[in-house]
Amino acid sequence: MIADIKKDAEQRMQKSIEALRNDLTKIRTGRAHPSLLDQVTVDYYGSEVPLSQVANVSTEDARTLKVVPWEKQMASKIEKAILTSNLGLNPANDGNAIRVPLPALTEERRRDLVKVVKSEAEGARVAIRNIRRDANSDFKALLKEKEISEDEERRAADEIQKLTDHFIKEVEVVLEKKEKELMEV
């Protein structure tokens, strides 16, 4: 019983970290990365599909993404999708490929992005603490039903706290790495 609750809590905390990492990849650092265009969808014969399903997205250099459509007639639709994606990018179509230059980030914009990153990290911390609370309430329920002793409940709560501390530290590591990446010129 206790082991199942701890395993479930650990898996959920790990998913919180993965979700944080995923959210942070969407925050632009000024460097070109193909994942910047992950949320862009293109009209492909009447249905909206992710850009990665109709074109190859790669980095040409540190500040330029290169999008090569698999069908030449899709180039204009891809260009339009990138323009309307709310990413603030201006693609250039040369007939064969679409180049997406990334504008340099200003110091003020970098500081704003750091604030966004910090709020994302705080959201992950809150999620991890909520998972701890859920696990502890499960332990208390088991204690109330006399399925475990008070000592077992206390030991399990301590182990969940250690798990929580570990994952909170992991959030801090992810946060520091992203902040450093953002403030790099």
Based on the domain organization, do 42 and 111 belong to the same domain? no
Based on the domain organization, do 116 and 144 belong to the same domain? yes
Helices (H) and strands (E) in the chain — how many of each?
A: 4, 6
**Residue after which a domain boundary falls, among 101, 121, 152:** 101
Based on the domain organization, do 117 and 160 belong to the same domain? yes
pLDDT tens-digit profile of 158-170? 999 999 999 999 9
**Residue after which a domain boundary falls, among 101, 121, 144:** 101
**pLDDT the model gives residue 185:** 62
In the chain, % helix, strand, coil (3-state, to 5) comes to 60, 15, 25
Q: Which residues does the chain have with pLDDT short of 50?
A: none
Choose among 109, 51, 102: nearest CA to 81: 51
Report residue 173 as tokens: 């590591």
CATH classification at residue 127: 1.10.132.20
Phi, psi for 125 (deg, rounded to 5): -60, -45
Kindly report the three-state secondary structure assignment for every residue of the chain.
CHHHHHHHHHHHHHHHHHHHHHHHHCCCCCCCCHHHHCCCEEEECCEEEEHHHCEEEEEEECCEEEEEECCHHHHHHHHHHHHCCCCCCCCEECCCCEEEECCCCCHHHHHHHHHHHHHHHHHHHHHHHHHHHHHHHHHHHHHHCCCCCHHHHHHHHHHHHHHHHHHHHHHHHHHHHHHHHHHCC
Based on the domain organization, do 162 and 177 belong to the same domain? yes
Based on the domain organization, do 88 and 72 belong to the same domain? yes
**pLDDT the model gives residue 173:** 95
**pLDDT the model gives residue 172:** 96
Phi, psi for 109 (deg, rounded to 5): -65, -40
**pLDDT the model gives residue 62:** 79
Amino acid at 9: A
**Residue after which a domain boundary falls, among 101, 116, 150:** 101
Based on the domain organization, do 171 and 151 belong to the same domain? yes
**pLDDT the model gives residue 116:** 85
- Beta partners for residue 101, in sequence order: 64
Its domain, for residue 75, covers: 34-101
Side-chain-facing half-sphere of 66: CA atoms under 13 Å: 10
